[in-house]
Chains A and B, each alone.
Chain A
Amino acid sequence: MSKLVVTSIGPASSVQDGGRPGSQRYGLTPSGAMDRLSLAAANTLVGNEPFAAVVEIGPFGATFAARGGAVRIGLAGASRNADIGGRPVAFDSSATLAEGETLNLGFARGGSFSYLAIEHGIEGEPMFGSLAVNARAGLGSPYPRPLQSGDELKTKAASGATERRIELPAASDAPIRILFGPQDDEFTAENRKLFLDNEWKISATSDRMGYRLEGAVIKHRDGHNIVSDGTVNGSIQVPGNGQPIVLMPDRGTSGGYPKIATVITADLGRFAQTSAGRPVHFKAVTMAEAQAEAIKFHTLLHSLPDRLRGIDDLGLNIEALRDANVAGQAVSAVDVTTWQVALP
């Protein structure tokens, strides 16, 4: 029996998986990873099912030690400085801690949550089919609360498999796409436009229940109390002060504020990774576009094993570089057939 011992960890770090849908009619929120693509990528790196339980690590640093045997891990999500006993480890790749070695993770860069998958998964007692922590409902396993220093995550000994990296689509800073509704008619056209035109900032008080947006004041047509109705991940509700709240996986299953719009499924993880203080813009899309994107996202989640590469196969990820704004010029300066940099 191997285990990964948490030797230091910041707040907002917990065991999460694909969540526990199915009991929202009883007020039980699904919980689960904030960024499902990174969850699935971390798991895929170590051969787990895509939505198996992992450690979701908040913005601060963390350290983990392997005890009782070697532990193989996969890292994805917000990148950080990472090393195992001084050996640098890249994100979007797997690595193995020998017995006694420590994994050191720095602060999150360019995101909020990182995902640490453990080969063979984390041992625990599923509650409603999930190990995901929902502290308010006393759910989660092996601990029904955020992780603390000293906690132990039990697993089977590392397989010794060859390490892998995974080639993911490039990060995007395009506007977050939304569908108006279900209560967009509680707002005038002018206020709906203001919602799209305004540059929003994620409040530092945001958490796994909801992200508060700071910026313009969105006014309601006739007051802010509606009769409570159901919520989804990505519901954008507007309380009395006019500052929207985007509901996240630990949301209440019902809410009594009008919901102007909903973040599309394909953009939820990208939105969740937006750090406090960073600007956010929203863009409205049609139902047909949103559903086409949801299907593309589903296909991506289930095709991740095809994106595994050898750890030393560091060929340029042209797709990623071309999509990344920062690398745009550099890539366009490279001849894609000869790999020669076109000199100015």
Chain B
Amino acid sequence: MAEPLSPPRLLPSGDSAITVEFSRTIDDAANRRVLALDRVIAAEPIAGIIETVPTYRSLLVHYDPVQITFDALGEQLLARAAKAPPTETGTRRWRIPITYGGEHGIDLEDVAKALQTTPDDIVARHAGGDYRVAMIGFTPGWSYLSGLDKFLHMSRRKEPRLVTPAGTISIGGIQTGVQCLAGPSGWHLLGRTPVRTYQLHRDPTFLLEPGDAVTFTAVDAKTFAEQDRAAEAGEFVAELVTP
């Protein structure tokens, strides 16, 4: 028999949202429970829920207090969280191209120096990883991936950059990220992908789902430029490997 699952904490996020917290740290097992609860709610909806937002360690549940109270919803969420998580079936796996270093990854050399190795070693370790989309947040399509090689874990930059390019691939803490839009970031920039994880007027608008598996492929700058044009025209560029 498996050990009974410890119940999550129910934290009020105002009068119209509950944070269902499974862990206070980045924890892969907790993230799987977050995504499992999210799937259970999608399969067995609770009247009054407006939308759910999975994150590394918690599921934020937005609801309408006119339809259901904090206490009643909390009780139902705990009951669903206590069920054995359904097995993950049909997990999608994406292969995402990245151009590392140079103008596309301005921190690659510095990261290699800080970790006392070569840029090629950093690229091999980063591109060799097997990742999972733990959450999408902050700005549209900004995908936080778990599964980063421990060797690459490093603290964020002391001075965040106010602007980093669209498609930036970066590392920060124990995570790596696929950023879609240009924007501020305190992470270390290793490369860029032509893949748009968010593109208006494309179907689907959002490419990645929380829980999707991701691997990376290093491509040269010429390939990046070609794929960037194709992506701008609406192609995925990312390759769906399975299912």
Contacts and interface: CB of A to CB of B under 8 A. Distances in A.
The listed residue with most B CB atoms (<10 A of its CB), out of A179, A253, A263, A293, is A253
A127 B57 CA distance: 30
B131 interface: no
A262 B12 contact: yes
Contact of A26 (B26, B56, B141): B141
B46 interface: no
A232 B14 CA distance: 8
Contacts of A254: 53, 55, 135, 137-138
Given A27-B198, A137-B139, A232 B12 contact: no
A176 B30 CA distance: 35
B140 A28 contact: yes
Contacts of B50: 21-22
Contacts of A262: 12-15, 17
A252 B19 contact: no
A23 interface: yes
B14 A263 contact: yes
A28 B206 CA distance: 10
A230 B58 contact: yes
A17 B53 CA distance: 22
Contacts of A294: 15-16, 65-66
Given A228-B137, A235-B14, A264-B15, A24 B53 contact: yes
Contacts of A252: 137-139
Nearest to A268: B14
B7 interface: no
A126 interface: no
Contact of A253 (B11, B14, B53): B53
| Most B CB within 10 A of own CB, among A24, A139, A229, A235 | A229
Prevailing SS type, chain A contact patch: mixed
B179 to A, nearest CB: 10
A228 B144 contact: yes
B105 to A, nearest CB: 22
Contacts of A293: 15
A233 B62 CA distance: 11
A36 to B, nearest CB: 12
A332 interface: no
B142 interface: yes
Contacts of A229: 19, 21, 55-58, 60
Contacts of B198: 26-28, 137
Interface string B23-63: 01110000000000000000000000011111111101010
A265 B144 CA distance: 30
Given A228-B137, A287-B15, A26 B25 contact: no
Interface string B107-141: 00000000000000000000000000001111111
B164 to A, nearest CB: 13
B13 A24 contact: no
Given A21-B50, A25-B51, A232 B62 contact: yes
Contacts of B194: none
Interface in A190-246: 226-235
Q: Which of A26, A182, A253 has the most CB of B within 10 A?
A: A26
A259 interface: yes
Contacts of B200: 127, 138-139
Interface string A267-298: 00000000000000000000100110111001
B181 interface: yes
Interface in A127-141: 127, 136-139
A175 interface: no
Contact of A232 (B13, B21, B54): B13
A227 to B, nearest CB: 5
Contacts of B19: 181-182, 229-230
Interface in A117-175: 127, 136-139
Contacts of B11: 181-183
A22 B55 CA distance: 15
A295 B66 contact: yes
B13 A235 contact: yes
Contacts of B65: 265, 291, 294-295
Nearest to A226: B24
Interface of B: 11-17, 19, 21, 24-26, 50-58, 60, 62, 65-66, 69-70, 135-142, 144, 181, 183, 198, 200, 205-206, 210
Sort A-B residue pairs by CB-CB distance and give the 8 closest, nearest first.
Answer: A230-B60, A254-B137, A262-B14, A182-B11, A290-B15, A26-B206, A230-B53, A181-B12
26 contacts: A25-B52, A25-B53, A26-B198, A28-B140, A137-B140, A137-B198, A138-B181, A139-B200, A179-B15, A180-B12, A181-B11, A182-B21, A226-B24, A227-B56, A227-B57, A228-B138, A229-B19, A229-B60, A230-B137, A232-B60, A234-B14, A235-B13, A259-B13, A287-B70, A294-B15, A298-B66
